Structure 1
Amino acid sequence: MKKIGLLLLLTVLLSGWAPRKKNVLVIGDSISIGYFPFVQQGLADKAVLVHNKGNAQHTGTGLKKIHEWLGQEKWDVIQFNWGLWDLCYRLPWEGNKAGKSDKVNGSLAHTPEQYRANLDSLVTILKKTNAKLLFVTTSYVPENEPGRYVKDAPLYNAVAREVMKKHGIEVNDIYAGSMEIHQKYGEAPNNVHYTPKGYQELATLITRQLEKKIKE
């Protein structure tokens, strides 16, 4: 029996067979777009990663486009995040173009309670895919950011954690880590975005948790 097992193993190895790579969908805002290529490269031997087309923006956009993003693909893992756009104050949109960030004269996209309700609805839809789900918290909002208040990121993250706890979904809380990374590699002191090196550093926070989820 041992010889048969060894022969089968040898046959598999010689045939070049490899386990199927997992299909992973990443849904998120511009921060996720920034770190996605690094994560995709880091997990290339384990999974086929796809980012939703364009910027996932806020939860309202998510509710409009979630079925389009899911498509007909059978996803093994779905990583998703919203929040940074939900807590942003903007001037009125011009057609399909988002209004300028402005927390003095602009309007808030979604209150914490609206964010909670939208996120709950989105999670309900995502759970129907039977994919393994992983939520990523909102990243750091620096002082003097033109459309966002520093205090709102932890608030919206707390709301999101409550929703995920309700649905039994794992959370990758990158807020503290993103704050440290932003101090060194932020695009600007008053900008939520990062330099390429910053996105590479963020990718390490994402890859670590996403790899675990892929292996489950």
Structure 2
Amino acid sequence: MLKTLLITTLILFYSWNLSFQDPPKILIIGDSISIGYTPFVEQKFGDAAMVKHNPGNAQHTGTGLQKIEEWIGEEDWDIIQINWGLWDLCYRHPDSKVYGNRDKVNGTLTYSLEDYESNLHSIVSKIKQISDAKLIFVTTTYVPENEAGRFKKDPKKYNKVAKSVMKKQGVLINDLYKPSITIHKNFGIGDDDVHYTPEGYEQLGSIVYEFLNKEIQ
């Protein structure tokens, strides 16, 4: 009887203790695509996880190098998901009238493949110095043919480099590029824009959620 009572007490204490544990903390760092799908990721997790996005747009890897410590802050994150690429592979010209001065004909590339690779290595190394969080890299999404500042073929090149860096650094990879092709064709804003309708962001968010959810189990 005493043994049964002791076991029951331990089970109740363990269950009570678990109920007061903080939910996993997830930080999503990335550009406007991640800004678009993060609310859907947060919604799907509900109270099961705390999901935050870095303030504003993470832009390119140069911005990441400058602000990564600030974005991580003092929070004890369980998972940090990162993504850079669409800004890195973008061509811009100061005289372009297109939003963001995008111009793949006369513009200058933001970061070459070599610089992108170097910057990613540096960013991941910085994160590891200040956080014990599990790291996940999300690949760059689809670029449609008529996008003003980006070439359709470039995401594959930049993703290949990013995957190589992440494998060397021991970082998990969520390959969002492949599903983003179909999602963009069905729910993209247009064949000249990398962004998505709310339905598109919801579908991207579902993929990101499924990957993150497996990693916090």
TM-score by length of 2: 0.92
Tell me the amino acid that sits aligned with residue 23 of structure 1: K
Q: Structure 2: give runs of 5+ residues left out of the alignment.
A: none
Match of 1:7?
9
Alignment of 1:8-157 (within 5 A): 8-10=10-12, 17-92=19-94, 99-128=100-129, 129-157=131-159
TM-score by length of 1: 0.92
Q: Structure 1: give runs of 5+ residues left out of the alignment.
A: none
The percentage of aligned residue pairs carrying the same residue is 52
Q: Which moved more, 1:206-215 or 1:193-202?
A: 206-215
Q: What RMSD, in angstroms, separates the aligned Cα atoms of the two structures? A: 1.8
- Whose helix proportion is higher, 1 or 2? 2
Tell me the amino acid that sits aligned with residue 196 of structure 1: P
Task: Give the length in aligned residue pairs.
Answer: 211
Tell me the amino acid that sits aligned with residue 183 of structure 2: I
CA gap of 1:210–1:16, structure 2 versus 1, over 3 A, is: closer
Say whether 1:177 aligns with 2:201.
no
CA gap of 1:72–1:168, structure 2 versus 1, over 3 A, is: same
Moved over 3 A (4+): 10-16
CA gap of 1:61–1:92, structure 2 versus 1, over 3 A, is: farther
The answer on whether the counterparts of 2:69 and 2:127 sit within 8 Å (CA) in structure 1 is: no
CA gap of 1:14–1:69, structure 2 versus 1, over 3 A, is: closer
Q: Residues of 2 paired with 1:153 and 1:11: CA distance? A: 51
Say whether 1:160 aligns with 2:162.
yes
User: 1:72 Cα shift?
Assistant: 1.1
SS of 1:21's equivalent in the other structure is: coil
User: 1:83 Cα shift?
Assistant: 0.5
The answer on whether the counterparts of 1:23 and 1:76 sit within 8 Å (CA) in structure 2 is: yes
User: 1:17 Cα shift?
Assistant: 2.6
Tell me the amino acid that sits aligned with residue 80 of structure 1: I
Q: Residues of 2 paired with 1:155 and 1:208: CA distance? A: 26
The answer on whether the counterparts of 1:92 and 1:99 sit within 8 Å (CA) in structure 2 is: no
CA gap of 1:169–1:16, structure 2 versus 1, over 3 A, is: closer
CA gap of 1:99–1:197, structure 2 versus 1, over 3 A, is: closer
Q: Residues of 2 paired with 1:40 and 1:171: CA distance? A: 20
User: 1:46 Cα shift?
Assistant: 2.0
Match of 2:215?
213
User: 1:99 Cα shift?
Assistant: 3.8
Q: Residues of 2 paired with 1:16 and 1:84: CA distance? A: 41
User: 1:155 Cα shift?
Assistant: 0.3
